[in-house]
Chain A
Amino acid sequence: MSVTLDDANFSSTGSSVEAVRVRGLTRTFGNIGSRPGRGVLDNLDLTVKGGEIVALIGRSGSGKSTLLRILAGLDSGASGEFTVPGRVSVAFQDARLLLWKRVRENVALGLRGEDRLQIAELALAEVGLSDHLRAWPLTLSGGEAQRVALARALVREPELLLLDEPFGALDAITRLTMHQLVLELWARHRPAILLVTHDVDEALALADRVVLLADGRIAYEEHISLTRPRHHDHPDLVGKRNRLLAELGVYSKGAVH
């Protein structure tokens, strides 16, 4: 497996530069004979441009989380090639805060330098948690905890932000607020975002491009050029939603066309 960590690519915020380049990526788990296990990636190609938001959707076991974990450096068992920028951040479905550290220290975790706490405070201000700097994580609501996790991901100025179903555990209203927040943060910092989600509406609300994975390959792609924030019953989106749901096998394709 050849992995290229493109450290020289720090300033790649322009939309023409590639943030992620995946070529022929294959990952198999516990092969039984010639039958590959679940969550495989099968010779996958994918490119994400700098500043682009790509949503990865797919059924459970389609390999979308596996791809994200490989790009995050958490899974080294794949073969093929991929390139990611020097600064990559991840936010998981669970906020994954260290319960024994106060909110500000959680965000500053892994930062170096004298001003690490001030930098963390700025990031927390950006996600609207300025008055929770000294709070313990267990006193936070689910949405607050996830905002801390976003601040922790953003504080390292990522060129690529990997979001692994970060809003999956939140209630519907909080989730919509979080979508707004992510878009605001994205508009300000312009990282490329790769968002893994189960939620077609979430993908349509946020992404420039929705990529549907099935059996470890890209089964379908949908480009969305509507400006954000988007109203979810915009006629363009309704059509794309039906098409994506059909591709996911929720509706029969005949009913849509």
Chain B
Amino acid sequence: MSATETEAPPIAGLGPAMATVESPAPARRTLGVGSPKSKTRRRAWYRWVSPLVLLVIWQLTHVFKLIDPNKLPPPSMVVTTAYNLAVHPIPAFGSLQAALLASVERFAMGFAAGGAIAVLLALSAGLSRIGDAAIDPLAQMIRMLPLFGLVPVFIVWFGIGQLPKVILVGLAAAVPLYLNLYAGIRSIDGRLYELGRVLGLTRKERLLNIVLPGAMPQALVGLRQSLGTAWLALVVAEQVNASTGLGAMIDQAENFLRNDVIFVALAVYTLLGLLTDAIVRAIERRAMAWRTDLVAA
């Protein structure tokens, strides 16, 4: 949950670009657009090898009867169970779709609320001295708070319904997003604000042209982190007294000693996490196009 991970180095690399000798650039650029994409595609293909090998080994533990499938159900069994849960649901677990929907709904509500609050607070703290003094100390304290230690407190405060779960997800989403967006705004080169003054930009123009795009790389790092922590918070929240959702399914499966069902729920959580991460990376590729061109050159 550490928010100090720096995946996006803020605007390095002006150096090498500046060093290139002036030359007819269009040729250089066409070269740049074509080659990196095919390179990325090739790398993407390679990246599937090790997970697939792991799946095969996992399946082989079952084929050679090395591990009891009740302890570690093989992938084939997980897939079959998932299919049965979806197509022939039994009352004990409910249908996979219903569980998925309940979980996604909780996640979406928590993430939307937490994300919106984080953005508002980070903008207030990042853009005004008063906002900074008022908000940032509190945010830095909340950051250190062990989130899951709040679960029993939340039960006392908010009961065992939807609310404590949504709040937990919201908090988990808000903290890394706030920290990174705030840091992103703070790290913007002061010389760009000078430029804004020289060009006579209004407050709004400055926000849209300098602050937000300048903070974007770090904000996207924050977004990916907050997705990770928010999914984690959802899993924890749902195992505390939930009657619907993937967490409730895990809870039931525990009672019935159905490890395969637990694995299905875990797999779905994982896929959801990967999916949201892929969405952010797609946004990243689009919003960071100005930088990928550099990687190409």
Contacts and interface: CB of A to CB of B under 8 A. Distances in A.
Contact of A109 (B13, B20, B22, B209): B209
B205 to A, nearest CB: 7
28 contacts: A72-B198, A73-B198, A74-B197, A90-B198, A94-B191, A96-B191, A98-B210, A99-B291, A100-B216, A101-B209, A109-B199, A109-B209, A110-B199, A110-B200, A110-B201, A136-B289, A138-B17, A138-B290, A138-B294, A139-B17, A139-B293, A140-B25, A141-B17, A141-B20, A142-B19, A144-B22, A152-B199, A174-B22
Most buried by B among A131, A138, A174: A138
Interface string A138-159: 1111111100000010001000
B29 A139 contact: yes
A144 B25 contact: yes
Contacts of B29: 135, 139
Given A98-B210, A141-B20, A144-B22, 15 more contacts: A72-B198, A96-B194, A98-B195, A98-B209, A99-B14, A100-B214, A137-B290, A138-B294, A138-B297, A139-B28, A139-B293, A140-B25, A141-B22, A145-B18, A174-B22
Contacts, number: 84
B11 interface: yes
A132 interface: yes
A218 to B, nearest CB: 25
Interface of A: 72-74, 89-90, 92, 94, 96, 98-102, 109-110, 131-132, 135-145, 152, 156, 169, 174
Interface range for B: 35 or more
Contacts of A94: 191
Nearest to B22: A141
B213 interface: yes
A145 B25 CA distance: 12
Contact of B194 (A74, A136, A174): A74
A96 B192 contact: yes
Chain B contact residues: helix, strand, loop or mixed = helix
Interface of B: 11, 13-14, 17-23, 25-26, 28-29, 32, 191-192, 194-195, 197-201, 205, 209-210, 213-214, 216, 289-291, 293-294, 297
Nearest to B201: A110
A138 B289 CA distance: 11
Closest 7 A/B residue pairs (Cβ): A110-B199, A138-B294, A100-B213, A142-B18, A141-B22, A136-B290, A90-B198
A139 B198 contact: no
B22 to A, nearest CB: 4
Contacts of A156: 199
B186 to A, nearest CB: 17
A155 B290 CA distance: 23
Nearest to B287: A100
Contacts of A144: 22, 25
Contacts of A72: 198
A139 B25 contact: yes
Nearest to B16: A138
B13 A138 contact: yes
